[in-house]
Amino acid sequence: MDTKINETLDCKGLSCPMPMMKLAKTMKGMKSGEVLEMLGTDPGTKSDIPNWCQKTGNLLLEQIDLEGGVNRFVLQKK
């Protein structure tokens, strides 16, 4: 995937609800069309982020599992 990442949010080691709170705050400060990469270890984000995107209209472009229990999400602001 060759999407230009505008910002990276490191939420590794944080547990619910902090990753989602940080995600919402960061996305609020971004411009429409910008792309955010979020890295996290909270297993709840695997379902929370797609649900949040569905509610907010933001796009989940990519969701993959990395080594060490890290999840990578790439989101585009609506």
* CATH number of the domain to which 48 belongs: 3.30.110.40
Please tell me the pTM assigned to this model: 0.94
Q: Which of 5, 16, 24, 64 is catalytic?
A: 16
- Domain presence at residue 49: yes
53 is catalytic: no
**43 within domain boundaries:** yes
What's the total number of domains in the chain?
1
Is 2 part of any domain? no
User: Is residue 1 domain-resident?
Assistant: no
Please indicate, yes or no, if residue 52 is contained in any of the structural domains. Answer: yes
pLDDT classification of 2: cutoffs 50, 70, 90: confident
Mean pLDDT on 45-69: 96
Quick: pLDDT tens for 9-41: 999 999 999 999 999 999 999 999 999 999 999
Range of the domain at 54: 7-76
Percent above pLDDT 70 for the chain: 99
Q: Angle at the Cα of 31 (from 49 to 8), degrees rounded to 5?
A: 55
